[in-house]
Amino acid sequence: MNPTESEIPRSLRLKAGDWVVVRDAAEILSTLDEDGCLDRLPFMPEMLAHCGKRYRVRAVAHKTCDTIEATGGRRMHDTVHLDDLRCDGSAHGGCEAGCTLFWKEAWLRRDSQAARPAIAPAAGSFDVLQRACTREGSVPDDPTWRCQTTDLLKASEPLRPTEVGQYVRDVTTGNHGVFDVLRLLMLAGYERLVNVGVGYRIWVGLYDAWQRLRGGKPWPSVTGRVAPGAPTPTAVLDLKPGDRVRVRPIREIEQTINAQGFNRGMRFDVEMVKYCDAEYKVQSRVTKIINEKTGKMMHMSNPCILLEDVYCRAECTPGRRGCPRAVNTYWREIWLERV
C-alpha cells in the first residue's frame, strides 16, 4: 500500500448537500490498483479536470441501476455523485453518452478539511489511467472501451427491491425526503394493483382522473402500436443545441414504436412518459456512444437528442426506484416537435 493511500480515509460518511473538494491527482492515483480502480471502480482520465475543485454532493450513490444486463438495482459503498458532473468522453473516443460520474469518497475531502501538501504523482501514474480506458487485448483500430459504466457490475452488488434498508438510506443520506420515498412506494403498490389483471382500465382511469385534477401526468405506461414486422417511422427536424421543442403526447409517440417500445433500435422507456406534452431546450445531438455491454463504439445512423434537465428520475421502474444515477434519456426527433 502506498504511504499516501494509508493516510486517506476510505469513507467520509457524506450526505447530499455536503461540500467537498476533489483531492489532487497524486493522492487519487495513490488509491488505485494496477487496473486504475478503487474497489473495482475506475478513476477515468476525464475526471482529472476536477482535481482541486469544490463541489456539492448531489446524491449518495449507495445504490444504482444495472443498465448492462437490466437485472435491477445494485448496491454500492462509499460512493457519491457531485453536482451534475458527467463524463465528456474525451478519453473514450469522443463518446457522447454524458454519463454521470461516480466518485469514491477516498477521492474527496470535506471542504472544511485542510488540504495536504501537494506531491508530485509517481512516474508513469497517468499511464495507468490511459491504459485502463480500453480492455486488455483491444486493438487501436477498433478499441474495446472500458469505463465506469462498462465496469459498473464489477463495482457493485445485487440489491433486491424488497430490501427496506435502501429506502431508509434514501432518507438518511438526504437523497430524498420522507414524503418523496413514501410517494415512490405508494406508486409501486398501486402498480402491483394495476398489474393484477382485474379492473386494469378502472384503476388506470382513477389514477388519470386524479392526475388531471392536480395537473399531473397520466399513468406511466407505454404501448407500442406499430404492427409486428412493420418498419417504425422516422422524422428529420435537424435540431441543434438551444432549439426549443415540445415532447409529443404519449399517445402520439406510441404510434411510432413497436410492441417492445423501440423505434429503430432506440427504446422509449416508461420513465420518459412524465416528460411528454411539455417544452424543453435541446442540449445536444448524439451520434456515437459506447455500448456498455460490449465496450464497442456505436455510431448512430439515426442521431438522437439530449434535452436539458431531462433524465431518468427512477420513479416507475421496479428495481430502480429512487436510483440517484440520473441517466440521460435519448429522444428520437419523431418524438419531438419544434416550438
For the chain, what is the mean pLDDT? 93
Within this chain, do residues 224 and 209 fall inside the same structural domain, yes or no? no
* Cα–Cα distance for residue pair 37/132, rounded to 1 Å: 9
Within this chain, do residues 135 and 12 fall inside the same structural domain, yes or no? yes
CATH at 274: 2.30.30
pLDDT tens, 308-336? 999 999 999 888 999 999 999 999 999 99
Within this chain, do residues 108 and 197 fall inside the same structural domain, yes or no? no
- The domain tally of the chain equals 3
pLDDT reported for residue 123: 54
Q: Give long-range contacts, CB 8 A cutoff, 24+ apart: 89-92.
A: 89/46, 90/45, 90/46, 91/44, 91/45, 91/46, 91/129, 91/130, 91/133, 92/44, 92/46, 92/133, 92/145, 92/147, 92/290
Within this chain, do residues 195 and 285 fall inside the same structural domain, yes or no? no
Residue 18 neighbours by CB distance under 10 Å: 18
Q: Residue 148 falls within a domain, yes or no?
A: yes
Record the pTM. Answer: 0.92
pLDDT reported for residue 197: 72
Q: Residue 143 falls within a domain, yes or no?
A: yes
Is there a contact between 320 and 326 (Cβ–Cβ < 8 Å)? no
Please report, rounded to a whole number, the percentage of residues in the chain having pLDDT higher than 70: 95
pLDDT tens, 223-264? 999 999 999 999 999 999 999 999 999 999 999 999 999 999
Within this chain, do residues 144 and 192 fall inside the same structural domain, yes or no? no
Within this chain, do residues 116 and 38 fall inside the same structural domain, yes or no? yes
In the predicted structure, residue 120 carries a pLDDT above the cut 90: no
Within this chain, do residues 190 and 316 fall inside the same structural domain, yes or no? no
Within this chain, do residues 203 and 100 fall inside the same structural domain, yes or no? no
All 3 cell numbers of residue 260? 417492445
Please report, rounded to a whole number, the percentage of residues in the chain having pLDDT higher than 90: 78
Q: Residue 171 falls within a domain, yes or no?
A: no
Q: Residue 164 falls within a domain, yes or no?
A: no
Is there a contact between 220 and 273 (Cβ–Cβ < 8 Å)? yes
* Cα–Cα distance for residue pair 63/152, rounded to 1 Å: 11
Within this chain, do residues 8 and 139 fall inside the same structural domain, yes or no? yes
Query: pLDDT class for 137, splitting at 50, 70, 90?
Result: confident
Within this chain, do residues 208 and 310 fall inside the same structural domain, yes or no? no
pLDDT reported for residue 211: 85
- Domain of 231 in residue numbering reads as 220-339
Q: What is the mean pLDDT of residues 85-91?
A: 98
Amino acid at 163: E
Which range, of 46-50, 116-120, 233-237, averages the lowest pLDDT? Answer: 116-120
